[in-house]
Structure 1
Amino acid sequence: MKFRSILLTAGVLSSATFYAQKMTYPKAIKGNHTDTYFGTAVADPFRDLENDSEATRRWVDEEVKHSQEYLAKIPFRDEIRNQLREIWNYEKISAPFKEGDYTYYYKNDGLQAQSVLYRTSNRTGQTEVFLDPNKFSEKGTTSLSQLSFNKKGNLVAYSISEGGSDWNKIIILDAVTKKQIDETLTDVKFSGISWQGDEGFYYSSYDKPKEGTVLSGMTDKHKVYFHKLGTKQSADQLIFGGDKTPRRYLGAGVSEDQRYLIISAANATNGNELYIKDLKNGSDFIQINKGFDINASIVDTDGDNLYIFTDKDAPNMRLVKTTIKNPAPETWTDVIPQTGNVLGITTGGGYFFATYMVDAIDLVKQYDKNGKLVREITLPGKGNVSGFGGKEKEKELYFSFSNYITPGTTYKFNADTGKSEVYQKPKVKFNPDDYVSEQVFYTSKDGTKIPMMINYKKGTKLNGKNPTILYSYGGFNISLQPAFSVVNAIWMENGGIYAVPNIRGGGEYGKKWHDAGTKQQKKNVFNDFIAAGEYLQAKGYTSKEYMALSGRSNGGLLVGATMTMRPDLARVAFPGVGVLDMLRYNKFTAGAGWAYDYGTAEDSKEMFEYLKSYSPVHNVKAGTCYPSTMIITSDHDDRVVPAHSFKFGAELQEKQACNHPVLLRIEKNAGHGAGRSTEQVIGENADLLSFALYEMGIRKL
């Protein structure tokens, strides 16, 4: 498939050419509410937009109508939507996995709303549909979240998300007959599903917020329950959490050998306690480490031996070994020690697979249980690798490889011989040979060197006129590694540049890199992002008039803070599902758990003042010309509640000093991002790409 490249107008048209006058926006409810922090009164005029009231819903409907009317005027919007549908329409097949007498895999024929779970009988070779999430709801907006089989593979429990909500339901089937065998569990949130034999499974949830606040109410005390098959959910046994051991986040898992129940307990997104219970002898829980100063997880067990992946005394992570008889941190000994590169661990086939991140690019080594190097695994190129996971006895493992210009390809790997072969190569209408993906290093405000991947079509002239999306995240120890996207493929095919800096706050260089972008160092993140934009402009990749800032969630905060700090940096901004009110983020859902990265306005006068100094909602200034902005959110986002976006949008619409539009794109029946239907994803990205090009002065493709 060949797309037409962008035909730029001669020079950059002024905003006045596009719009005769400033836009008129729906009128949001405005009040006189103020909050006082350490003696300082802070106005919150759009506080009513936090409430799911009739007035708020009416305003939301008006904003949806206003945005769609504006977007409908873009002459090439439908063409981009069609381009996305065409390139999206290819068969997608996951790596297979074995459970009981069957081999399972996911497949999407191309444009199906949700991928379908198939299985093939290992005895007869017959293939059938096992679960089809497209039949869960009329428009494909109910998705499959978690899937867990018992050890025999004859029982399965799966969770579903309706409309993108983090509140899930769990359904239990006889995996052989596919018939439901128990009541549906409801009101389950931030939960895994881990079976103990054939008796039942462990899961986690919170008390449901009071009626009317389900999507925004605080969820503070997580609880681990055991559901015994054949009993009512109301009779489920509380195993951990609640009032006795109050923790904000709890995860429960049973070891592969079914001997241990392992609990991870945390109050924030960084740092956790570990508890373990020997199910074989019925002992009580043993607390392995106390406090929340380290991150630790049990990745494997072998008889009495426990293998723990941790950052204790190792900011770049290490794998250690201890025993159930005395698992305290003082007894931990290295199996795979820390190196100068960040380490990730996967287990499969009786081996450990160590993935090292070198300037955001992966390198993989295979070790035995004693930490002896077996081999370095030959990869198809420079990029991002995932997989190698599997059961202890499985020698046939799978991994996937991709980068910004290489569609994700799945490989079959023999754990004993080290040989790999292509298992599934997607037939995407995209030729990587036509594109460039280069890594550069630039200097941030304080002198720190930051890596950035820049991706574009070969032959692109560095004349400052290339439409460019600058995307990043910068938080929560999350690393942005090279990954292929058909959306970016369309952007680049139409003449665009896609640039991703690995800014501080992420995990690309370990704990120190993460911590350098937290609390009162958070502005390092924004400065890194700003410096990336300045680098691209200085080197001729683009210019202010052709640059768009983009990010989601914590990345939405990144965009919101950057555009209010430096409204002159870019022509377009896309704060997506963003954390935008930094004084009140901890009042909603699980937001209080983000305090490790952000701090809270209640911590101290200094922390309050620092948060207020960059909080996007509180830093929109009248008389300032802000970029053309499309704020993206969803009505069922119960992780970063849409009130953040509503309040920021109302502030921008009221105070925008020039005729650059401020749109609120609000997706109905969708949440924070996961589980959206294919059509919802295509619709959002068609609007994003076409809005960016249109606001940059491009009038036809």
Structure 2
Amino acid sequence: MAAKLFTLSLAMTSITCYSQHTYPTTKKVEHSDDYFGVTVSDPYRWLEDDRSEDTKDWVEREVTFTNDYLGKIPFREEIRNQLRDKWNYEKISAPFEEGDYVYYYKNNGLQAQSVLYRKDKTGKEEVFLDPNKFSAQGTTSLSNLSFNKKGTLAAYAISEGGSDWNKIIIIDAVTKQQIGDTLVDIKFSGIAWQGDEGFYYSSYDKPQGSELSAKTDTHKVYFHKLGTKQKEDQLIIGGDDFKRRYLGAYLSDDERFLIVSASNTTYGNELYIKDLKNKTDFITIQKGYDCSSGVIDTKGDFIYVLTDKNAPNNKLQKFDINQPEKWIDVISETENVLTVSTGGGYIFAKYMKDALSYVRQLDYNGALIRTIELPGNGTAGGFGGKLKQKDLYYSFTNYITPGTIYKFNVETGKSEVYQQPNVKFNPADYVSEQVFYTSKDGTKIPMMISYKKGIKLDGKNPTILYSYGGFNISLQPSFSVVNAIWMENGGIYAVPNIRGGGEYGKKWHDAGTKMEKKNVFEDFIAAGEYLQKKGYTSKEYMAISGRSNGGLLVGATMTMRPDLAKVAFPGVGVLDMLRYNKFTAGAGWAYDYGTAEDSREMFEYLKSYSPVHNVKKGTCYPSTMIITSDHDDRVVPAHSFKFGAELQDKQGCNNPILVRIEVNAGHGAGRSTEQVIGENADLISFALYEIGIRKLK
């Protein structure tokens, strides 16, 4: 498809000449809560009840209003067709070996879900699992898959409509026939096989009330023995005698050690190890939640652990299971953040410098074998495999380089292209540059700015400013078809690596948590101001976007600085900061946010930026499309419903407030290709329309 260029209509007054919007009527109720003697009204509390007829009726009316508005955008279908056209290329994952087969995922272009294929030793290809046959609409996805060590048995988890509640199905991996009953009500779980006997998994008791929104806070690890009923599964750890919000169980590669990570928030964990060979009880390796540690491999009696204990950028240590208190450095901490993988008998140290990757290959004593030459500046992932595997695989991508898979030989250090996608996109026509700007308090922040060559810095470029800023999550460069369409048509895509993320380790994360959370919003605001000052864009041409914690980022930014941008996209956001911890696993986010019950000071701080509580009557807010899903049981849709109701009631100008509600979808994972294309077609179309574009040329 030929590149498109945006053109503004001759009558620029159309930007401000909307008719007054008639939003769906939203009732208010008399409800308030007391926090440390402060009364806080909550007139839309009724929207938290996802099972009520009133809420369902409101949702239907909001969906109709949103669809009617989006339906008037003249180029909406053209954008959708552009996305479909560019999305339609074959996508193949890195292969992995299990038993006598080599497995890989493949999507022929527009399939709702990727299909898992395999080849035998003769090279014969067959479909192993096709998630597109799990449901008629393609909204049931494959969320987990695990094989036993011999590759003869497999268990896979499915998510229906994007829910975090999963089912596990067990099959004979050779014949592909199901074995035994389907396990149900599984949530936040791995699948760890122990020989041919069965596997460990994690779940919660089914909550009373709404499965979508009811709190889940007592995780349990079970062992499921093949051939038995789920109700007979053995409780290994968890429950009232060992109450933890999150419990994850996994086995060492030699199946000698059962390792359990226990935590109550999304940061900090305890470690417990059971020596199955010597039949010990669980040995306490790390108690308390002051640091995060994870076992990455074992060698005989030695356990290798990646930890940030006294090392904010992480280090790799090891200890003898017989002396678990004596930890020895294998890879010491450096100025750059470390993650680790293993394969082929080696350790791969993957570092992040200013959000960009570099990788070193080491032996198990930490001695350097080589620094791996990557294809360029961007993000490298992979370098994992089995002990005897000599060819490993890694991916490389950045904002203008489609993800390419490379085969890497662990002995020679040579890389070769294994799978290069045939995307209708020419990286040579684009620029992706890294800049550094200064936030309100003087902190230096990196930002990647990507765009088509030849743009003029005249302040009139449509720009999406996207970020996340939380939970130690790092935004490293990666290619996206959606961003390709945006840039191909003259748009700029900018991503600042703001505080709260993990780009510079634990200190960077902590600088955006609890009473420091506003640093995150100030970093984001400063990024927008930088783009406008340097002429990349201006207020009238800029959209701000983020999802989940990034939805909070957008919601807080637009209520703190409604004049910063023309358009806002708070996606599946945490928007009621006084009540987020009341739903599903929300209480586990308290490390980042704190809760309104912690103290008067914490309550007041949360209330001061909580998007739902900071919408002011008569203020002109950006044209806003709030994005949520009816099956989101991670960040319940009530956040978005209440924020939308507040904005529609108090909006002080004719900028529209839409609430886009995806049906049969959850927090984001597992959505069908058509759902993803549909949402992004609406996002791009709405952004362009609201900044004044009336036709594509």
Letter in 2 for 1:659: N
**Helix, strand or coil for the counterpart of 1:301?**
strand
1:203 to 201, 206, 213: 201
Task: State the distance in 2 between where 1:13 and 1:260 align.
Answer: 69
1:424 to 415, 419, 430: 419
Q: Deviations for 1:320-360, whole angstroms, at most 9, x for unmatched residues?
A: 010110112xx111100000001110111111101111100
User: How many residues are aligned here?
Assistant: 695
Q: Deviations for 1:68-105, whole angstroms, at most 9, x for unmatched residues?
A: 00000000000000000000000000000000010000
Task: State the distance in 2 between where 1:323 and 1:551 align.
Answer: 44
1:24 to 22, 25, 32: 22
**Helix, strand or coil for the counterpart of 1:42?**
strand
Letter in 2 for 1:628: S
Partner of 2:675: 680
Identity of aligned residues (%): 76
Q: Deviations for 1:565-617, whole angstroms, at most 9, x for unmatched residues?
A: 00000000000000000000000000000000000000000000000000000
Q: How far 1:221 sits from its partner (Å)?
A: 0.3
1:354 to 333, 337, 349: 349
Task: State the distance in 2 between where 1:524 and 1:12 align.
Answer: 36
**Helix, strand or coil for the counterpart of 1:158?**
strand
Q: How far 1:210 sits from its partner (Å)?
A: 1.6
Task: State the distance in 2 between where 1:391 and 1:147 align.
Answer: 16
Residue 288 of structure 2 is aligned to residue 291 of structure 1: yes
Letter in 1 for 2:462: P
Q: Answer yes or no: is the 8 Å Cα contact 1:29–1:48 preserved in 2.
A: no
Q: Answer yes or no: is the 8 Å Cα contact 1:310–1:317 preserved in 2.
A: yes
Partner of 2:186: 188
2:128 to 121, 126, 130: 130
Q: Answer yes or no: is the 8 Å Cα contact 1:15–1:659 preserved in 2.
A: no
Task: Provide TM-score, normalisation by structure 1.
Answer: 0.99
**Helix, strand or coil for the counterpart of 1:7?**
strand
Task: State the distance in 1 between where 2:632 and 2:160 align.
Answer: 11
Task: State the distance in 2 between where 1:384 and 1:391 align.
Answer: 23
Q: How far 1:12 sits from its partner (Å)?
A: 4.6
**Helix, strand or coil for the counterpart of 1:680?**
helix
The ranges of structure 1 where at least 4 consecutive aligned residues each deviate by more than 2 angstroms after the TM superposition are: 8-17
Task: State the distance in 1 between where 2:658 and 2:105 align.
Answer: 36
Residue 234 of structure 2 is aligned to residue 237 of structure 1: yes
Cα RMSD (Å) of the superposition?
A: 0.7
After superposition, the Cα gap between the structure-2 partners of 1:466 and 1:12, relative to the gap in structure 1 and judged at 3 Å, is: farther
Partner of 1:262: 259
Alignment of 1:541-560 (within 5 A): 541-560=536-555
Partner of 1:280: 277
Letter in 2 for 1:619: N
1:323 to 320, 323, 336: 320
Partner of 2:77: 78
Q: How far 1:14 sits from its partner (Å)?
A: 5.5
Q: Answer yes or no: is the 8 Å Cα contact 1:12–1:545 preserved in 2.
A: no
**Helix, strand or coil for the counterpart of 1:427?**
coil
Letter in 2 for 1:32: E
Q: Answer yes or no: is the 8 Å Cα contact 1:273–1:290 preserved in 2.
A: yes
**Helix, strand or coil for the counterpart of 1:676?**
coil
Task: State the distance in 2 between where 1:627 and 1:318 align.
Answer: 44
Partner of 1:116: 115
Q: Answer yes or no: is the 8 Å Cα contact 1:29–1:55 preserved in 2.
A: no
Partner of 2:157: 159
Q: Answer yes or no: is the 8 Å Cα contact 1:383–1:483 preserved in 2.
A: yes
Partner of 2:95: 96
Alignment of 1:6-25 (within 5 A): 6-10=6-10, 12-13=12-13, 15-17=15-17, 19-20=18-19, 22-25=20-23
Partner of 2:139: 141
1:170 to 160, 168, 182: 168
Q: How far 1:525 sits from its partner (Å)?
A: 0.2
1:376 to 359, 371, 375: 371
**Helix, strand or coil for the counterpart of 2:389?**
coil
**Helix, strand or coil for the counterpart of 1:564?**
helix
Alignment of 1:248-259 (within 5 A): 248-259=245-256
Q: Deviations for 1:152-208, whole angstroms, at most 9, x for unmatched residues?
A: 000000000000000000000000000001100000000000000000000000011
Q: Answer yes or no: is the 8 Å Cα contact 2:213–2:584 preserved in 1.
A: yes
Letter in 1 for 2:59: V
Alignment of 1:58-73 (within 5 A): 58-73=57-72
Q: How far 1:29 sits from its partner (Å)?
A: 2.8
Partner of 1:444: 439
Q: How far 1:15 sits from its partner (Å)?
A: 3.9
Q: How far 1:3 sits from its partner (Å)?
A: 2.2
Q: How far 1:11 sits from its partner (Å)?
A: 8.0
1:47 to 45, 51, 68: 45
Residue 603 of structure 2 is aligned to residue 615 of structure 1: no
Partner of 2:3: 3
Task: State the distance in 1 between where 2:668 and 2:509 align.
Answer: 23
Letter in 2 for 1:4: K
Partner of 1:386: 381
Partner of 1:562: 557
Letter in 1 for 2:181: E
Partner of 1:635: 630
Letter in 1 for 2:130: D
After superposition, the Cα gap between the structure-2 partners of 1:389 and 1:11, relative to the gap in structure 1 and judged at 3 Å, is: farther
Q: How far 1:241 sits from its partner (Å)?
A: 0.8
Q: How far 1:13 sits from its partner (Å)?
A: 3.4
Q: How far 1:377 sits from its partner (Å)?
A: 0.1
Partner of 1:573: 568
Q: How far 1:115 sits from its partner (Å)?
A: 0.2
Letter in 1 for 2:106: K
Task: State the distance in 2 between where 1:521 and 1:14 align.
Answer: 41
**Helix, strand or coil for the counterpart of 2:39?**
strand
**Helix, strand or coil for the counterpart of 2:537?**
coil
**Helix, strand or coil for the counterpart of 1:445?**
coil
Residue 475 of structure 2 is aligned to residue 480 of structure 1: yes
Partner of 1:35: 33
Q: How far 1:687 sits from its partner (Å)?
A: 0.1
Task: State the distance in 2 between where 1:591 and 1:568 align.
Answer: 31
Partner of 1:689: 684
Alignment of 1:499-578 (within 5 A): 499-578=494-573
Residue 313 of structure 2 is aligned to residue 313 of structure 1: no
